[in-house]
Amino acid sequence: MLLSVSLAKKIIDEVKKLFYEDIIMVGVDGIIIVSTDAQRIGKYHEGAMISVKEKRRVIIKKEDEQYLQGAKAGINLPVFFLNNVIGVIGITGEPERVLPYGELLRKMTELLVQESYYSEQMQWQSRMLEAFVFDWLHARDWSSTFVERAKILNIDLQAKRQLILVQVTEQQDFFFKDIWQLTHVWNDPHDQDVLIHWGNDRLLIIRYVHQERERETITQKVKQFKAFIEETWKTPVIVGIGQDVDSSELTKGYEQAERALSVALKKTSIVFEEDLRLDICLEEISIPTRKEFTQRILQTVLTNEELLETFYTFFEQNMSLKLTASLQHIHINTLHYRIKKLEELTGLNLKYFPDVVSLYLALYFLEHQPKK
């Protein structure tokens, strides 16, 4: 691990806002990599080289400048990472005056280096997990190499799994920067769950199933996870949850989570695939067929938002006239008028059950079209 130019520049840019002394960052080869004085970049600094070799603070006085190549009066402080010197910070000025600033700057630099290192490690591990999960979902047979990768990543291929898809409605950078924080929030005490970002707006959680029928526990955990994301990043979150499957049937579990997520999209909520009934059949109907059916049923009212909204509410309230009128803030007689108007415009008879079903399906398909 070395002090990178980008990180050194970032530190210098921030620190030079606070005080006016010249600051340099030097590599372990003694070459200045970043400086508030651009003319010094790329030059050799003998004082910093001594600091690297002897792993100690080097104070340079005015009279030392003629003996040490590239040095100016001030201090040079080694930057450590895992007990190794990875660079040197130099501050020009009266040593007694700039030393407190230098020690603070060195400590800050060491903390930033550590943070950068562990962030890179998390990103590297995350990419390894993503690649493994991709193979896990697509591999027909498990090769010896695949099984060995699972061992390295501490993934139990004998356990049952439950797949959970988490999607934000507005793309957020946290999927790439803060995956470690979300892993911490998910808080798997057994360290067996896999959590990775999946595309630009999704997280995929492959949960280790410890015992059957944990629905109440999982529901509470997912609600807390969902609430944290919504509160922290101010974006609505939807969640689709598949059923328990064997590790060898991960694709099946993923398809279930996808199906649940597609239903959750309209509710901005959490949906378990095992709760789906009619939705399972409706999801199999092609988009062209959905559009044609919707057009046949609703062609004459597609631009009448008042009627459409009324009958969305009507079905959401289990066809209760009283509740529909209340939620629409209209008199019950007005609702009867809208029912009659819909029947006249569409030719449907809402006392005839097949026509009621047709209206429900047309509204369902309309709501689930790519562009409503």
Going along the chain from its start, the domains and CATH numbers come out as 5-106 (3.30.450.20), 157-281 (3.30.70.270), 285-367 (1.10.10.2840)
Q: What is the pLDDT of residue 7?
A: 82
CA neighbours closer than 13 Å in the CB half-sphere of residue 187: 8
Q: Which two tokens stand for residue 266?
A: 């309209």
Q: Give the chain's residues under pLDDT 50.
A: 371-372
Which amino acid would we find at residue 133? V
Tell me the Ramachandran region of residue 321: left when phi exceeds 0, alpha when psi lies from -120 to 50, beta otherwise. alpha
Nearest-angstrom CA–CA distance, 363 and 153? 47
- Residue 101 pLDDT: 83
- pLDDT at position 176: 52
Q: Is the dihedral of CA 64, 67, 68, 70 positive or negative?
A: positive
Instruction: Answer for the pair 209, 161: CB distance below 8 angstroms, yes or no.
Output: yes
Q: What is the pLDDT of residue 180?
A: 74
Q: Which of 23, 6, 38, 10 is closest to 101 using CA atoms?
A: 23
What pTM was computed for the model?
Answer: 0.64
> How much is the pLDDT for 372?
43
| Three-class SS state of 67 | coil
Euclidean distance between CA atoms 147 and 140, whole angstroms: 13
Percent of the chain with pLDDT over 70: 97
DSSP 186: H
Q: How far is CA 281 from CA 258, 286, 361, in A?
A: 14, 11, 12
Cα Rg of the chain (Å, integer):
32
pLDDT at residue 272, rounded to an integer:
94
Question: Does residue 250 come out as left (phi exceeding 0), alpha (psi in the -120 to 50 range) or beta?
Answer: alpha
